[in-house]
Amino acid sequence: MFLAFSIIVGAAAAVLLSERLRMRLPDVPDDEFVRRYTSLFEGKQEDVLRERRYLGKTLGVSYRKLAPEQTWEELARQAPLFSFGVGTTDVGSDLQRLLKRAGMAVSPPFPTTIGGTIQDLIRARRAADVARDERARLSTPT
């Protein structure tokens, strides 16, 4: 039994390692990322870079490999299967949680690009912060 388990774990590790080595996307420096992002979307540099790093960490890929025009489909072909699958679920859950905190009943469809996802995360965090501040203001006695 232990031998069968070891073989399965070893095979899974080999697949994951080979998939990680397969990620051959070019690095995109921060300034280039922001330049390309702002040609497609609006956002402050610090917000854009914060969300880019969040996506990289959550997806289990280097944030340097992410580009604003990259589609999720393109990235899925290059990313490690297990961490990417879990990471995309986490990103979707985080986005839904932020929208709920902001009081948005209907969530928009999940964006098709990394840049679109960053834009939605920035907007959702901003709306959640505004909603939190408004709740605090209303609960404070005058």
Q: Give residue 92's pLDDT.
A: 78
Q: Could you say which residues of the chain have pLDDT below 50?
A: 1-6, 9-11, 13-14, 17-18, 21-22, 82
Nearest alpha-carbon partner for 58 in 86, 36, 35 = 86
Q: Give residue 87's pLDDT.
A: 57
Number of domains forming the structure of the chain: 1
Q: Give residue 5's pLDDT.
A: 39
Q: Which two tokens stand for residue 43?
A: 């956002």
Determine if the pTM surpasses 0.85. no
Angle at alpha carbon of residue 123, lines to 119 and 129, rounded to 5°:
145
- Cβ contacts of 99 within 8 Å, gap of 6 or more: 107, 124, 127, 128
Residue 124 is part of which domain span? Answer: 2-139
- For the segment 113-128, what is each residue's pLDDT rounded down to a tens digit? 999 999 988 988 888 7
